[in-house]
Amino acid sequence: MTTVRISDDSLALACGADAVAAAFVDAGWTVERASSWGMHWLEPLVEITGIGWGPVTVGRVADIIAGGAEDLCIGPIAAHPFLAGQHRLTFARAGKARPLSLEDYAASGGWSGLDRALSLVPATVVEEVTASGLRGRGGAGFPAGIKWKTVAGAPGARKFVVCNADEGDSGTFADRMLMEGDPFQLIEGMAIAAHAVGAEQGYIYVRSEYPHAVAKLRRAVDLAASRIAPFAIEVRLGAGAYVCGEETSLLNSIEGKRGEVRAKPPLPALQGLFGCPTVVNNVLTLAAIPHILSAGGASRYDSLGIDRSKGTMPIQLAGNIKHGGLYETAFGVTLNALIYDVGGGTASGRPVKAVQVGGPLGAYIPPAQFDLPFDYEAYAAAGALIGHGGVVVFDDSADMGAQARFAMQFCAAESCGKCTPCRIGSTRGVELIDRIRTGGGTAVDAVEALPQMRNAGKAGRSRDEDLALLEDLCEAMELGSLCALGGFTPYPVRSALRHWPDDFGPP
Amino acid sequence: MHTAADLATLIDRHAAHDGPLLPILHDVQAVFGCISPAAEAQIARALNLSRAEVHGVVSFYHDFTATPDPRPCVELCRAEACQARGVDALVDAAEAAAGERVRLKAVYCLGLCSVGPAARVGDALHARLDAASLARLVQSA
């Protein structure tokens, strides 16, 4: 046997997969570049007849060819505990197929969802998506079927399907892995959505930080063009603005405008791209569609998960974790299971201090709450959010006061500037946290001292008053911002303050 | 040196599409290294927009710059997941290695959050960086 499989996912490339692949080629082997299994601590992972070795360096290739390198061997990859515990639907092909092979795609059940959808009337497709219980995976968790129904019923000469692939949250990479590893599945999901709502044009808006995903998507769209015609897809590139992951600012960006958030209503489903009815769904939402539209898929999807969180969630284990990677499982799993049983604790070996779920706008969760089930409503009730399913682990060396400050600083840098609580509140938030952390309190400034500033305190503010002011500011941002950027930045700030007050300096 | 005719070619490539401005700006930034006031004016005329509208878009996005920076650029991820993996401790050494010769740019997430600290030079990605390997990367940029 002289065929070896090595991933060409950009994470594997970043870990040196190309050099390892070249070493096998030099030794006369055939190298097949497949998608990534999602076991990132083992990348570059080398697979020979189902047996895996990782992480492999160029220096160990000769060992593997000679039948040695037992220390790197993980045995049969598919039986690895990290994979055996998962329930992979959206990532069913991960590690098993060549990303741009139409042959591999069709052989693994590809296009069966689209073929079946096209044999149904659009209203039935929408009903099946609704029945599956699928909710938007971008973060808001809005039921996909209801959104599609609104677009299908909206009057409009043109309608659009827009895929939100502006995956800016730190700690998330599932969209990237899907686009690089199984791009046809996303295209198939978009084609089904187009049939369901009556759209002829689709856009995939990808962030510019993902050059490999963009290249693969563009080639995949060309390869699949005849399969999805008359529906057509164009890949559009973002330009480094985090806020363009918000759906209305994403639409403005495609239109060629500043990525400023639009007030809602009107909903994008009624007046979206170029003023036309538009489906805007995340990569993972659309990629879940082909499975749901396959025979019996909707009821299978609905049977997984808990309460109103149905189906599976591709959870991303990131940050200071020993076994990081992609873990797709039914809703309901706890952080304890994810971090300790699956993830093996921290990479540094130190105790876990905090976990941030849901990206830069997600709350920091202390170990005492690690029994929280992965569920949209349970997280909301605990003042946290699932977001896009990123889980970032911090060990006990983390300074949570600094993390709170970073949340405000990030919001200030990335605010689109349209609404005041976000644009100005974030900068004031950084200043306030700095003052609180230095414990100094605040003297009366020149403006506050003016006689007409009747409501301003004339004695300066103590640290406690600054803390109350920060709480006020968080409330104003949460309730007064137009979108989730200003609205959720208070989550990491408040949670850090509540659970780790000692990290904000001496009282 | 690039001319107005080069710019017109770039504009024509996208002008027939819906919402052509961002694709045009990406091409101009890639070819010219920046989007100058003169380029803004020419794009505005071609698309029947005001110069203010085009300037508003150029200045909104981090990827577009008004002046060229010919230095090699190392983009270092400074987002939460890389912070949790210790990127902040590498910054001083990286800055020292960069000096004036290399532009060290902070970016927020390259999607390599389980194997950080991570960096990008052009389209090449690098992960599991420590102070020594990051300094080498900066020096070879």
Calculate how close chain A gets to B16, using CA atoms only, in Å.
13
Report pLDDT for A405.
98
Q: Nearest-CA distance from B1 to chain A in Å? A: 25
Question: How close, in Å, is residue B5 to chain A by CA atoms?
Answer: 22
pTM of the model: 0.96
Interface test with A, best of B59, B65, B113 (most A CBs within 10 A): B113
Supply φ then ψ for residue A213, to 5 degrees: -65, -40
Where residue A443 falls among pLDDT bands split at 50, 70, 90?
A: confident
The residues near A277 (Cβ < 8 Å, ≥ 6 apart) are A150, A151, A154, A155, A156, A159, A160, A197, A269, A270, A271
Among B17, B28, B43, B60, pick the best mutation site for testing chain A contact (most A Cβ within 10 A): B60
Q: How far apart, in whole angstroms, are the C-alpha atoms of residue B122 and residue B73? A: 8
The CATH fold assigned to B73-140 is Glutaredoxin (3.40.30)
Model confidence band, residue B3 (pLDDT cutoffs 50, 70, 90): confident
Q: Are residues A319 and A283 in the same domain?
A: no
* A240·B62 Cβ contact <8 A: yes
One-letter amino acid for residue A368 of the chain: A
Statement to judge: residues A120 and A130 lie in one domain:
yes
Measured between CB atoms, does A489 come within 8 Å of chain B?
Answer: no
Residue A52: which CATH number? 3.40.30.10
In chain B, residues with a C-beta closer than 8 Å to the C-beta of A254 are 19, 22
Q: For residues A196-218, give the mean pLDDT.
A: 97
Same-domain check for residues A317 and A388? yes
Q: Do A403 and B107 touch (CB under 8 A)?
A: no
Is residue A193 domain-shared with residue A297, that is, in the same domain? yes
- CATH T-level topology, domain B4-60: Arc Repressor Mutant, subunit A (1.10.10)
CATH of the domain at A230: 3.40.50.11540
Shortest distance, CA B94 to any CA of chain A (angstroms): 18
Model confidence band, residue A359 (pLDDT cutoffs 50, 70, 90): very high
pLDDT-based confidence at residue A328 (cuts at 50, 70, 90): very high
Q: In sequence order, which residues have a C-beta less than 8 Å from that of residue A157 and are 6 or more positions away?
A: A276
Domain count, chain A: 4
CATH number at residue A381: 3.10.20.600
Residues of chain B found within 8 Å of residue A318, distances taken between Cβ atoms: 81, 84, 113-114
Q: Do A258 and B57 touch (CB under 8 A)?
A: yes
Asked if B22 is an interface residue toward chain A (Cβ–Cβ < 8 A), one would say yes
- Which of the listed residues A260, A279, A303 is the one where a domain comes to its end? A303
Q: Do A112 and A255 sit in the same domain of this protein?
A: yes
pLDDT for res A457: 81
Contacts of A236 in chain B (CB under 8 A): 19, 22-23
* Domain membership of residue A21 as a residue range: 3-83
Q: Examine the fold and report which residue of A279, A303, A327 is the final residue of a domain before the chain moves on.
A: A303
- Judge whether residue A370 has pLDDT over 90: yes
Question: Last residue of some domain: A332, A364, A395?
Answer: A395
Token pair 């709170």 is at which residue? Answer: A404
Asked if A435 and A442 count as a contact pair (C-beta separation under 8 A), the reply is yes
Q: With 80 as the cut, is the pLDDT of residue A1 above it?
A: no
Q: Is residue A363 part of a domain?
A: yes
Q: Which residue of A has its CA nearest to B126?
A: A14
> Do A431 and A319 lie in a common domain?
no
Average pLDDT score, chain A:
96
Q: Do A408 and A426 share a structural domain?
A: yes
Residue A384 shares a structural domain with residue A448: no
Residues 248-277 of A with CB under 8 A from B: 253-260, 274
If you measure CA to CA, which chain B residue comes closest to A406? B80
pLDDT for residue B2 is more than 90: no
Interface list for A 273-302 with B (CB within 8 A) = 274
C-alpha separations of A329 from A85, A200, A306 in Å? 8, 33, 12
Q: Least CA distance to B128: which residue of chain A?
A: A15
Q: Residue A450 sits in a domain of what CATH number?
A: 1.20.1440.230
The answer to whether A236 contacts B22, with C-beta atoms less than 8 Å apart, is yes
Which residues in chain B touch residue A324, judged by CB atoms under 8 angstroms apart? 113-115
- Structure tokens belonging to residue A444: 């009366």
Domain ranges of chain B: 4-60, 73-140
> How far A374 CA lies from chain B's nearest CA (Å)?
20
One-character DSSP codes across A255-285: HTS--PPPPSSSPTTTS-GGGS-EEEEEHHH
pLDDT at A476 over 80: yes
